[in-house]
Amino acid sequence: MSDRRLLADRYRLGEVLGTGGVAEVRRARDVVLARDVAVKLFRRKGDTADARRFDNEIRTLATLSHPGLVTVYDADTSGDTPFMVLELVDGRTLRDRIANGPMGVGEVRRLGAALADALAHVHDRGIVHRDVKPSNILLDDDDVPRLADFGLARLVDGARLTRADQVVGTAAYLAPEQVRGGKITSAVDVYALGLVLLECLTGHREYEGAEIEAAVARLHRPPVIGDDLPFDLARLLSLMTSLSAGRRPSARECADILRGSGPPTLVAPIPRRSRGVLAAASAVVLAAAVGTGLVVQYEATPAESAPPAITQPTSTPTPPTSTQPAPVVERQTVTVQVEPKARPGKAKQGKGKAKK
């Protein structure tokens, strides 16, 4: 389409802000309302699944209204070039911000609370995002976050956009139940957000490697949570990234805790796990992935060395009485196995204002 022609007799297309496999996002000028917007243009390739995802993104965003979400202004899927008009977020992606180095605890609390609040709004309407990751989080000039790209979003217990034997998402942020092909609930978004916040704090991705390697790695070991973090934040991240979906807090609880208004007694003792059981489970998932085709998106960053293992108490000592000696506090060491680093993936995306 020529840049000189108005799209839908209204939008004058400008520079390309970002491109993806099925769409590109361009800055545009709405000549009717005299404002700058972002236009997401879908490229037809004959793949009906991609077309359905684009339509799904439009319909999903149209039902949502929250300061932490990118707003949809207009859309048309009937023409030769289906498009969606979005709020223009001038700034960068969270992935760009992390590339500049780790973020402070206070900054991560603020960012995490805003994102968790946006996810709570999404979950309250029965929607699961399924692809929470740094490149899908836009930061404006004041570093206020917006969650974008709902192309993989799905209603809880709603119709699938993929085959039952496919896993859709980004390998490094998949929840364990997504890797195993289990039931998808809002807990998968909480898990991914936990990994995103941990990445903000450390400056590196927790699970590196190729698609299957990164996806299966979380079944070998839990994320490494630094012992230099405030106890309440470390405890929350441990819960958010629990292997068990039932142990994770809701997005609303995460937002309250990150703001300092959540329940102070939220405890997440680190469970004892059998290395043999974990290895066997990983082998089963790996075999299933090879047999059915694990469908994931892969984004790679330069390899980082893993932080050292942490040691945390698993029980609280009780004060001794006149007739009882003080009990011995059991301690459990979580040993971190450093996984081999794989080749980098595709190059980092440039400044993004809206996601594909």
Catalytic residues: 131
CA distance linking residue 102 with residue 37, whole number of Å: 31
Which element (helix H / strand E) includes 338? none
CA distance linking residue 275 with residue 281, whole number of Å: 10
Residues with Cβ within 8 Å of residue 87, at least 6 apart in sequence: 37, 38, 70, 71, 72, 73, 146, 354
Strand order in the sheet with 23-30: 11-19, 23-30, 35-42, 83-86, 72-76
Strand order in the sheet with 137-140: 91-93, 137-140, 145-147
SS3 155: strand
Whether residue 18 contacts residue 353, with contact meaning beta carbons closer than 8 Å, is answered with yes
Whether residue 42 contacts residue 82, with contact meaning beta carbons closer than 8 Å, is answered with yes
**DSSP assignment, residue 157?**
T
